[in-house]
Amino acid sequence: MLTVKQFSSEYRDGVRKVCIDTAYFGRPLDEWIDIHPELYADFYTRYYTDFEPDGLFIALVNNKIIGYMALCSDLKRQTEVLRNRIVPDIIKDIISGKYSLGRKIIWVLFRMLADRLKYGPLNLSPKGYNADIHINFLPGYRGIYRAWGKMVTMGYEYLMKKDARFIIGVLFQNWEDPEEKMNLLGFKTFQKRKTTIKGKNGWFLITGCDLKEWQERLPKAIAIFTRKKAMNIKKEY
């Protein structure tokens, strides 16, 4: 049975596991890089689970977490928490030997440098945008669009209550026409980079959405996520 609900602390490990198991184009982290998986989960999920849990929504099948949507309603606060709490704790754990970086980190850093030289610096905080969204689903469950639709509704209501009008979405996927798919959901593209990791081509997009304008598009967005194969059928729209 499918259930979508707000996060609670007993599901913290499940959220971290989904993050780790979908790190590489929706595939497990160890297919990409050999850093300690808990280090990766700390960096990408700890803010949402520990510092803004009210903005985290989970999808479960038979009480197993199969996906989540994490929202930050204040990017300034998120940056401060990362800088003052999360990253220092990660550094301490690396120094103590609790977390390992692995040898592949050199290759990843080289790739990031090459992309920066080719495309220029990333702008993860476009002017005026004060919130962000982070979504992950396990392989085999991404077609459960009812979960996506419910999460979109709950997340929209949460952000509007927090007066977070402009939201950033960072996409790392190997979809065809990723810009078109994001536009259907009301997100416009600010930056787009083509990248290759271990022979797989993919896209890195920084997108943004005005939630007040999106209010009129919300029914259509929900419909996209609740129709089977909707993300692949262009003529339906």
Q: Looking at per-residue confidence, does 134 or 173 come out higher?
A: 134
What's the pLDDT at 182? 75
Distance CA 57, CA 71 (A): 8
Of the pLDDT bands very low, low, confident and very high (cuts 50, 70, 90), residue 78 is very high
CATH architecture of the domain formed by 2-236: 3-Layer(aba) Sandwich (3.40)
Pick the closest to residue 159 from 128, 130, 188, 197 (CA basis): 130
Average pLDDT across the chain, whole number: 80
pLDDT of residue 26: 73
Instruction: Kindly report, residue by residue over 94-113, the tens digit of the pLDDT.
Output: 899 888 887 766 666 666 66
pLDDT recorded at residue 108 = 65
pLDDT on residue 231: 41
CA angle 55, 125, 172 (to 5 degrees): 75
Is the pLDDT reported for residue 233 higher than 50? no
pLDDT at 229 over 50: no
Find where tokens 């803010």 sit: 47
Q: Name the residue among 21, 76, 23, 18 with its Cα closest to residue 47.
A: 76
Sign of CA dihedral 52, 151, 12, 139: negative
